[in-house]
Structure 1
Amino acid sequence: MKNVFAILSFIAGTLTASAQDWPNIKRYQEANSKLAAPAAGQKRVVYMGDSITDFWIVNDSTFFAANNYIDRGISGQTTGQMLLRFRQDVINLKPAVVVILAGINDIAENNGPSKIEDVAGNIFSMAELARVHHIKVVLSSVLPANKFPWRPSIIPTEKVTILNNMLKDYAAKNNMVYLDYFTAMADDKRGLPANLSKDGVHPNLEGYKIMAPLAKAAIAKALAKK
């Protein structure tokens, strides 16, 4: 019985801590505090995202190290959570460019059902916050996906396409860069093929190798914008 109470107490404590820091601001708090301000002339780049960004540095750390990119992805996060931590994990780091990749977990209903317009709105709000702080914006397409291993009842294919079209249109209207991973990675069923992913959602190293030059080109394009 004591073991049962100990387990229940641990679970309750974990849930309370999670509820108190829903956007997980503490995840990068220490790393952010140790990060010096950009040197004069340095064009710092921050990647904001979910597990696809979070796992990128694990799968290909040399990409980030070689380019002095900063990874601020958190696995499982929705756009609402990212928006809440955007100041701490992006604005306060004073980057020249932010690369935003978000939305697939909203479509997967990780925090409950969401209207696709609200998902797009959260991403637009991050972009607008960046612009106010003179940070150039790269809006990444959601990667192709036509299944969720953790939520098989949801078929994401159409919502991914709709959201990407909204992001592309917004970027064009607001002089921002749209980074199209989708076209480069989708198979004929608008999914992520087995050679680029084990689960149809998260890229493997081969997938990230496709993404890397596309991201670098988009960053260069953003830096060149007036």
Structure 2
Amino acid sequence: MKNAIYTTTLLLLSLTAGAQDWPNIKRYEEANKAVKSPAKGEKRVVYMGDSITDFWINNDSTFFKSNNYYDRGISGQTTGQMLLRFREDVINLKPAVVVILAGINDIAENNGPSKLEDVAGNIFSMAELAKANNIKVVISSVLPAAAFPWRPAINPVEKVKTLNEMLLNYAKKNNMVYLDYFTAMADNKRALPLALSKDGVHPNLEGYKMMEPLAKRAIAQALQKK
């Protein structure tokens, strides 16, 4: 609890320190206002992430509508930006479960170089904020990627592997669900194959269709955890 309070204090200080909406809190501001308190027995789920989550609802909106899922992905975001908007886009919606999928844009250095320990730490902080607010946590693996079209000089393969190991170990240690997209989707070069993606980073509809049953199974597991 103390760690969560400390993290929340840091978030507030960070928000008041900058004049611009770096975490893009306004993206879902109006949509969040329209969300009502959960009905009795409702098992609301929020997906927090970057473009992979952001594009998911456009590729398969039925998946979200039919399962009472809320998509709160923002394209291009790093884990630090997600952490800053976590209260507005997750906690305040009062979900039963949050599915966190983050880290690939940090590896791509979208906001500059980052240590993997800091990237993982941002994800851990989101998980701890959720836990402090009685929200079950699903920590997703980073999807496979062998190259970035917008950062061709970066080879992400080993960093994706290392970050996923850190996330898996944290989930095990803290009795949280680890959602392993990587193993299901990676080819023998640890890349996202063209059958599942046009650019090797973002899933196409076939890729999302592969992810969906894995996500639903992980959510069910999270709901069963004490």
- State the TM-score, normalized to the length of structure 1: 0.92
TM-score, normalising length: structure 2: 0.92
Equivalent residue, structure 1, for 2:162: 162
Matched ranges for 1:21-170 at <5 A: 21-170=21-170
Note the residue ranges of structure 1 that are not aligned, 5 or more in a row: 1-17
Amino acid at match of 2:168: K
AA matched with 2:140: S
Deviation at 1:155, TM superposition (A): 0.4
What residue is the counterpart of 1:13 in the other structure? none
Q: Distance in 2 between matches of 1:70 and 1:112?
A: 29
The alignment partner of 1:207 has SS state of helix
State the superposition RMSD in angstroms. Answer: 0.9
Does the residue aligned with 2:211 lie in a helix, a strand or coil?
helix
Number of aligned residues: 209
Unaligned runs of 5+ in 2: 1-17
Deviation, 1:19, is 6.2
Aligned partner of 2:36: which letter?
Answer: A
Which protein has the larger Cα radius of gyration, Structure 1 or Structure 2? 1
SS class of match (1:47): strand
Report the secondary structure of 1:30's partner residue.
helix
Indicate the percent of aligned positions where both proteins have the same amino acid. 81
**Aligned equivalents of 2:66, 2:57: Cα separation in 1:** 12
Aligned to 2:209: 209
Q: Distance in 2 between matches of 1:173 and 1:186?
A: 25
CA distance in 1, matches of 2:19, 2:191: 33
Output the CA distance in 1 between the equivalents of 2:59 and 2:157. Answer: 25
- Cα deviation code 1:153-199 (max 9, x no counterpart): 00000000000000000000000000000000000000000000000
